[in-house]
């Protein structure tokens, strides 16, 4: 069976993977879903020093201190920035990278620079707060992510938190060239929520880059937060990738 480390996106935390983690464990896999510094149950650690490098170190340390090897590393949304940096630093601990509707950055690129034109400006305006000590991006409406079921909204509750803009503005620095690890991009097919908020699909340029790089493309029939609205599909795709990685 496989070892999965699941990296969440902005505003959430390791808890957001709960429905997928339960299914993967029921299938016999081992799963870790750490919360990045300043997120989830670690939101009390959020301060101005938290940036992309901090979050990359969070996951590198998880791999080292849990003594993990042969890991399928999954990143959702902003988490794609994180797993790309992790793969550059500790590739020998990984078996595969999986981008779940995620940022797919190039060397020297930051998240806002990789998004569709105008997305960075929209996010910057959302994060403006003259009274704030930190430049924080407030959680986007759940509808933007395709989460509209009242039960799902109630389960999420008020557990989402602001996300530091520093993590989105810091360029990713890769020191070891393009990764040689197998990569899969899982595209969520319903883009309507993101289009409503941004007027364009923020992830389209990065998705197109993944296609151009020859990355394996899979789909899930859901909005952006597939781990909430389609956890069975996500777990199935990941389970199939575990079989492929073992063969």
Whether 77 is a known active-site residue: answer yes
Distance, CA of 11 to CA of 72 (rounded, Å): 23
Q: Please work out, in degrees rounded to the nearest 5, the angle formed at the alpha carbon of residue 164 by the alpha carbons of 158 and 170.
A: 150
DSSP letter (8 states) at residue 211: H
Non-local (6+) Cβ contacts of 29 within 8 A are 1, 2, 3, 4, 239, 242
Alpha helices in the chain (DSSP H): 18-26, 52-65, 79-89, 111-114, 119-127, 150-156, 165-169, 192-198, 204-212, 226-229, 231-246
Distance, CA of 202 to CA of 156 (rounded, Å): 23
Which is the catalytic residue, given 21, 33, 77, 222?
77
- Find out whether 115 and 126 touch, Cβ atoms under 8 Å: no
Give catalytic residues, as residue numbers. Answer: 77
């Amino acid at each position: 069976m496989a070892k999965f480390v699941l990296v969440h996106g902005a505003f959430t935390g390791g808890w957001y993977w709960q429905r997928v983690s339960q299914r993967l464990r029921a299938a016999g896999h081992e799963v870790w879903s750490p919360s990045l510094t300043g997120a989830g149950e670690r939101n009390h650690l959020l301060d101005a020093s938290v940036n992309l490098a901090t979050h990359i170190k969070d996951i590198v340390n998880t791999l080292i201190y849990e003594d993990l090897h042969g890991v399928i590393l999954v990143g959702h949304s902003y988490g794609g920035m994180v797993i790309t940096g992790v793969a550059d630093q500790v590739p020998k601990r990984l078996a595969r990278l999986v981008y779940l509707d995620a940022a797919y950055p190039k060397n020297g690129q930051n998240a806002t620079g990789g998004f569709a034109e105008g997305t960075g400006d929209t996010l910057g305006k959302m994060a403006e707060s003259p009274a704030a000590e930190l430049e924080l991006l407030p959680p986007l409406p759940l509808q933007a992510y395709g989460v509209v079921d009242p039960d799902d909204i109630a389960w999420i509750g008020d557990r989402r938190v602001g996300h530091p803009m520093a993590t989105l503005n810091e360029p990713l620095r890769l020191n070891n060239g393009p990764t040689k690890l197998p990569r899969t991009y899982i595209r969520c097919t319903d883009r309507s929520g993101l289009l409503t908020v941004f007027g364009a699909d923020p992830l389209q340029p990065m998705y197109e880059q993944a296609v151009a790089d020859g990355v394996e493309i899979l789909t899930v029939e859901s909005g952006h937060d597939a781990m909430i609205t389609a956890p069975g599909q996500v777990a199935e795709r990941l389970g199939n990738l575990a079989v492929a990685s073992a063969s």
